[in-house]
Amino acid sequence: MNLFSICFSVIFFFFMSSVSFAKESVNIDIKMLTPDFSFSTTSKYKDSDNYYLQILYTENSQSAALNKIELIQKSIQYPMAMQPYKRGFRVYVGPIKGGDIASALKSLLSIGYDEHLVRHINNQPDFLTYKDILFKKIGRIGDNNIILPFNKNGSLARFSSLDIDSICKSINSNVALLSEYGEILSTSNFISDIGAQNRYWLTSKETVTRVSDNLVIKAVDNDARYPIICLINHSKHK
């Protein structure tokens, strides 16, 4: 089977220039900012400068926080971002120009968000650009299509542990389970097109790879990035 792609305008970041994808004809644009990225709080702003509006902090899981952001963004139609902080996530509207802040605040107020902090971007944030990720269907097991994220240059995309919950979720799919990896990494199409020698994300703390006829699970190396396999039900993309 030849490689062919399922193209999505994709969202999330983790670490999320923009994460965008088509969902119910609504453009989602969410970025994941690195935990150590900092910007200054200000009460004044210039029309031409870029800013983030911090609107809330949540200790919900990353997926729950992402769901909340999607709901907000459907109403306000501005780019948004999230950033790991302590035991949860800070949620931002932005980046937006200073000249758009008043309009953004009006939109937020209309859906009940009346508190905010204006944060000035002092330098370009470090984030993963999901819009530069191409999701390709490379096979099928059971009722599920096997989807792999690739970079625009054709190389296999690699992600940090903070990305794994969101990258598959961005296309309404799930990370492959151990039992599913066993079948995926033994299929002839996968081996010929991709190769089974890579370590793939299994959980946020473990990777899986195929060695001979066995699956080998290893602990994640510090700060390492690995590819990921997503599974999406075939009925969703007939």
Q: 């802040």: which residue's tokens? A: 101
- Model pLDDT for residues 116-146, shown as the tens digit of each residue: 999 987 655 444 445 567 788 888 888 888 8
pLDDT tens digits, one per residue of 44-65: 888 888 899 999 999 888 778 8
pLDDT tens track for 10-23: 333 333 333 333 33
Which tokens is 164 given? 């794994």
Q: Domains in the chain, please, with CATH?
A: 35-120 (3.30.70.1070), 132-237 (3.10.100.10)
What is the pTM assigned to this prediction? 0.47
Q: Determine the pLDDT at residue 206.
A: 93
